[in-house]
Amino acid sequence: MRSKEMFAYHTFCLALFLWTCCSVKYNSAIPLIGYLVGMILMGVGVSMICVRSKKCRGRPESVGIIIFAVLVNLGMSVNYRCTKAEKITWNSTYLVDLTLMMAVFAVMYLGVRYTKIYRFHIFNFMVSIILPVTIFGARLSGRKTGGSYLYFAGFMIFGLVLLGFPFVAAWFMSLEENKYWRGKVGNVSWNLLGFLGYTFLIYIGCGICNEFGLLLIVGLTATVLFWIRCKDTKLKILYTVLCISGALMATSIINHLRGRVQIWLHPAEAFYNANLKEKAESVLYLFRNFESMGWWGKGIGNLSKRIYPTLNTDHVLILLMNDYSVLLAFLVMILGIVFVRWMLILPKNVCAYDKYLNMTSALIVCFIMLIDISSNLGSFITAGIGFPWISDGSSVNIMLTGLMAVHIGLLKKGGEENG
């Protein structure tokens, strides 16, 4: 990373910090200190990785790290802007999440980079047991949030499951195809049948927990992996039809999903429905006020939480367009595309397990970004999914940081094993 690029990064972060803190002020110094310390930590970390280490200079891992750092700084700005004045504590600052993210990054990176434990069958078997236990445990715990059972042992199941799912998927995908259905080589292999059975178990768990976002991400990721791995075209089509049929059935049965679809397809009509008015107003706001936002936004602190109760989570891109700048929101989308492309980069001749582990991680990040962007622009139903590292959400941001650490670890490891 050249000095000019690092200067541009630090200038952007400092300007964003000053703009945010001058626009929104609090009686307590905690939000300001938390934001400042977080910005300094990110600046030092990026400088150490991308500048001071000559070995990293020009390497592909620096691209992802700088994008990650930019998104985190935007997340700290949004967190500061959306802090509730009556509930200011250290736990409400992004600094706490950033500390946990750095710790998880270190553990995941070192584990993938310097060990082969993650490839062991016993490790992957244990993870495959933990994921459904986590989902069904959330339902049994009885902690209901907005009509869904989202938490297990204090953590969101969305983040926990998606952090472990790439390992399980890679395990199933990389098993040798030496046994086939009914003993015929042309039939589907037993490891793919096992993967199908496992994903359907996850689907059932998500259904009883009413966790539509997790179901959507796992379903899309599993479908892509199955299409890549399976050689039987008829089975691919059958699996896809079953998934679509299940989604349509869930939409027709579950009331709040049916309401989301109605808002997505007919927002103006849903606005006059007493039960859907509040959520429909959120969708219509962007269409009705996009022109008045201008290219440079209306100023930090303008958008009301009455219109967007989830403006710092599900609708953070609309917050960026309204308060910060439409151009900044578009830049964030472009950075997201570049980040996903970066996550797909991997040295040649890596083992099958590492290839599928990296691919699954990249697909999860890709679908999270794609769904969030689509739902913010009114092109898809609201799925309760935020934009990586900008939206508030400790468990999700920690999970995404872990997946990024896995990719960087594989980049380093693959380069050495093949070098």
Q: Which two tokens stand for residue 203?
A: 């689907």
Report the number of secondary-structure helices (H) and strands (E) in the chain. 16, 2
pLDDT (0 to 100) of residue 177: 57
Position 185 scores a pLDDT of 44
Terminal-to-terminal C-alpha distance of the chain: 22
What does the pLDDT read at residue 251? Answer: 65
Task: Give residue 20's identity as a one-letter amino acid code.
Answer: T
Predicted model pTM: 0.90
Alpha carbons 242 and 370: distance in angstroms, whole number: 23
pLDDT given at position 167:
96
**What per-residue confidence (pLDDT) applies to 183?**
47
3-class SS of residue 332: helix
The whole-number pLDDT of residue 207 equals 83
pLDDT (0 to 100) of residue 416: 56
Question: Token pair of 408, please?
Answer: 């960087």
Cα gap 298→262, rounded to integer Å:
30
Distance separating alpha carbons of residues 258 and 3, to the nearest angstrom:
52
Contacts of residue 109, Cβ cutoff 8 Å, sequence gap at least 6: 405, 406, 408, 409
Which residues of the chain are under the pLDDT cut of 70? 1-2, 50-60, 85-86, 176-188, 250-257, 259, 263, 270-272, 274-281, 304-309, 414-419
Q: Give the model's pLDDT for residue 240.
A: 82
Angle, helices 3-23/30-47, rounded to nearest 10 degrees: 170
Asked whether 72 and 42 are in contact (CB, 8 A), the reply is: yes
Reading the block at residue 204, the tokens are: 């059932």
